[in-house]
Amino acid sequence: MSLRKTIFAATYDRMSRKSEEAGVRALRQSLLADATGRVLEIGAGTGANLQHYGKRIESLVAAEPEPAMLRRLQRTARERAPLAQVLQAPAEALPFEDDSFDTVVSTLVLCGVDDQARALAEAHRVLRPGGRLLFLEHVRADDPGLARFQDRMNWLNRLVVGCDCNRSTLASIETEGFTVERLQRTTMPKAPKFVRPLIVGAASA
């Protein structure tokens, strides 16, 4: 485990607090109101979403590959979602049969996975036909000037957070066979300009 990943896990909740309070928490809440049935969350981090799952879900699996994050996730799950199953797994290799879930949730994850196409293909595989991917993701800006700025600043992102906030994630979601049903383009409040562009929505498998 790298030192950066350990520090990132230890500081993540503190680093994101202002953005969460200024609007990201509300985005999570309204996105996750649509989670139904058997739910898998990938890259669940410290468990920021766990409090937002409602009565429409039947079961919840929260997956996270990084040991330092996983420990925090287990703690949050014990406190807020005791029925959730927490397991260690990367999005690129999900230990589930095809068609195992009705909903896959990915929030602020697809910018940081090692292989985005493979992670999306896995999400598609484990979803039943017609099941939905709910996403809230950092993305490449539509504005070419801001996109160039994101490219220039990406070294800093990689160094601190280990992700690429300049990925064309919406195009990848479609390329991997999802049909986007609902899409909101918005920005992350209280965050550096080069990580602000966000997409929030739902896509069916």
Ligand X SMILES: C[S@@+](CC[C@H](N)C(=O)[O-])C[C@H]1O[C@@H](n2cnc3c(N)ncnc32)[C@H](O)[C@@H]1O
Interface with ligand X (CB under 6 A): 42-45, 48, 64-66, 69, 90-92, 107-109, 112-114
State the CB neighbour count (10 A cutoff) for residue 143. Answer: 11
User: How many angstroms separate the Cα of 104 from the Cα of each of 36, 38, 39, 68, 191?
Assistant: 10, 9, 6, 23, 26
- Contact (CB, 8 A) for 46 and 73: yes
- Contact (CB, 8 A) for 79 and 86: no
* Min dist. Cβ of residue 144 to ligand X (A): 25
- Choice between 148 and 156, CB closer to ligand X: 156
- Choice between 85 and 179, CB closer to ligand X: 85
* Min dist. Cβ of residue 42 to ligand X (A): 5
- Tokens representing 146 are 């801001």
- Choice between 25 and 128, CB closer to ligand X: 25
Distance, CA of 120 to CA of 125 (rounded, Å): 9
- Choice between 109 and 202, CB closer to ligand X: 109
* Min dist. Cβ of residue 148 to ligand X (A): 23
3-class DSSP state for residue 204? strand
* Min dist. Cβ of residue 4 to ligand X (A): 11
- Choice between 56 and 71, CB closer to ligand X: 71
Tell which phi-psi region holds residue 115, choosing left (phi > 0), alpha (psi between -120 and 50) or beta: beta
Query: What residue number has its CB nearest to ligand X?
Result: 45
* Min dist. Cβ of residue 68 to ligand X (A): 8
